[in-house]
């Protein structure tokens, strides 16, 4: 687990990356909305581990499944309908308004990026949106209030499209439903052109969406991962912060916190230079004494420096003792 000092230094690095960013892309997952009271349905104990998700084929073919899907949707509305954008959403909306972000790609269906002021033109919703519905056959849009009125009036039956009798479903992408081609293409184009890819609050395991960070990195962009838990792609990233997303953006966005971070980073910078010079000497000493582990520790810089010195010196002392 990272210490507070590690996170402060990482936030300083993040502040620098955001300052220099010209056409970044933010890729967001459930973690950005947890502070808004919306749980990660995939997490252990989350909604999906208790209520098996209804896949697309079942929804389309079974009236009973459609009734159940809409019952769950209105149950969710009661629990999370009043959710407001969090600190992460607001920070990204600011970066977009400043022209540093070219767009936001999200796996979330909660509509909180729009609620923070992000226009649809700059937002790609890979898994759709649960705050409105569409007819699966003719594509007509229906608002939730309309669906709810019909649902309640009929005693819990999912309404069909008045125009074509097709099934009406939230505008989300369900399991078993193909990824939306247009959204995937827009996300791919944003990723191909970005200089920084910020992966925020996603465990980066849901494919094909998780392919975008890899694409960005291969295209030469810097990859930043901010998530509470480790992700599959941490090893590939230029900067990884395992901390609360709201806290991270608050630290980066506040002038007083930024000043603190700046002082911190100057200190870290000067130390890094000293460590680098010292590392070379230590490595040479360790090489002379046959200590192989030192390089791995020393290479990680400031955080591992004391460990490198300790191990290097201990091995030097050990080899000295063996000689005597
Ligand atoms: Zn229709």
List pLDDT tens digits, range 241-264: 999 999 999 988 764 554 454 455
Give 295's pLDDT tier (boundaries 50, 70, 90).
Answer: very low
Q: How far is the CA of 70 from the centre of ligand 1 (A)?
A: 17
Q: What share of the chain is helix, strand, coil (3-state, %, to 5)?
A: 55, 15, 30
pLDDT of residue 322: 40
pTM equals 0.73
Active-site residue identified among 89, 113, 122, 127: 127
Annotated catalytic residue 127: yes
| Contact assessment for residue 242 and residue 203, using Cβ atoms and an 8 Å cutoff | no
Give 96's pLDDT tier (boundaries 50, 70, 90).
Answer: very high
Give 265's pLDDT tier (boundaries 50, 70, 90).
Answer: very low
Strands 222-226 and 196-200, by their bridges, are parallel
323: burial class by Cβ within 10 Å (0-12, 13-18, 19+)? exposed
**DSSP states of 145-179:** HHHHHHHHHTTSPPPBPTTT--BEEEEE--TTSPP
Q: How far is the CA of 158 from the centre of ligand 1 (A)?
A: 14
11: burial class by Cβ within 10 Å (0-12, 13-18, 19+)? buried
Of 30-39, 154-163, 315-324, give the lowest mean pLDDT range: 315-324
In this model, does residue 49 exceed pLDDT 70?
no
Provide the Cα torsion 42, 44, 45, 46; round to 10°: -10
For 61-83, write each residue's pLDDT tens digit.
999 999 999 999 998 888 788 89
Nearest CA among 57, 203, 25, 211 for reference residue 123: 25
Unique residue bearing structure tokens 């990824």 = 179
Dist. CA 20–CA 196, nearest whole Å? 9
Q: How far is the CA of 127 from the centre of ligand 1 (A)?
A: 21
Q: How far is the CA of 163 from the centre of ligand 1 (A)?
A: 5
Q: How far is the CA of 134 from the centre of ligand 1 (A)?
A: 8
Q: How far is the CA of 281 from the centre of ligand 1 (A)?
A: 73
Q: Is 84 left (phi over 0), alpha (psi -120 to 50) or beta?
A: beta
Length of the chain: 324
In angstroms, how far is the first alpha carbon of the chain from the final one?
A: 40
Dist. CA 286–CA 277, nearest whole Å? 14
Cα-based distances in Å from 249 to 24, 222, 313: 16, 18, 40
Q: How far is the CA of 126 from the centre of ligand 1 (A)?
A: 23
Q: Which residues contact 52 (CB under 8 A, 6 or more apart)?
A: none
Q: How far is the CA of 142 from the centre of ligand 1 (A)?
A: 10
Enter the tokens of residue 275.
């460590």
């Amino acid at each position: 687990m990272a210490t507070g000092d590690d996170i402060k230094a990482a936030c300083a690095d993040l502040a620098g990356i955001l300052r220099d960013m010209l056409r970044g892309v933010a890729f967001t997952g459930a973690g950005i909305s947890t502070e808004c009271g919306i749980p990660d349905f995939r997490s252990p104990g989350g909604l999906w581990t208790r209520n098996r998700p209804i896949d697309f084929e079942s929804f389309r073919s079974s009236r009973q499944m459609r009734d159940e899907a809409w019952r769950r949707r209105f149950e969710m509305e009661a629990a999370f309908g009043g959710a407001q954008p969090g600190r992460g959403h607001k920070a990204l909306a600011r970066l977009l308004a400043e022209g540093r972000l070219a767009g936001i790609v999200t796996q979330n269906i909660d509509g909180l990026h729009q609620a923070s002021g992000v226009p649809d033109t700059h937002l790609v919703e890979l898994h759709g949106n649960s705050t409105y519905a569409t007819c699966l056959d003719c594509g007509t849009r229906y608002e939730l209030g309309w669906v709810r009125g019909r649902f309640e009036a009929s005693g819990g039956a999912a309404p069909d499209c008045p125009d074509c009798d097709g099934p009406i479903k939230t505008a989300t992408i369900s399991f078993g439903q193909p990824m939306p081609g247009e959204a995937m293409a827009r996300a791919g184009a944003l990723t191909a052109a970005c200089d920084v890819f910020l992966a925020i609050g996603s465990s980066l395991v849901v494919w094909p969406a998780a392919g975008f960070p890899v694409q960005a990195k291969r295209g030469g962009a810097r990859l930043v991962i901010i998530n509470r838990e480790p992700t599959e792609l941490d090893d590939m990233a230029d900067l990884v912060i395992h901390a609360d997303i709201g806290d991270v953006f608050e630290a980066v966005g506040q002038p007083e916190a930024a000043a603190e971070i700046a002082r911190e980073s100057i200190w870290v910078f000067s130390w890094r230079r000293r460590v680098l010079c010292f590392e070379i000497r230590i490595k040479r000493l360790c090489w002379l004494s046959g200590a192989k582990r030192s390089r791995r520790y020393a290479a990680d810089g400031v955080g591992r420096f004391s460990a490198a010195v300790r191990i290097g010196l201990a091995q030097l002392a050990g080899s000295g003792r063996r000689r005597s």
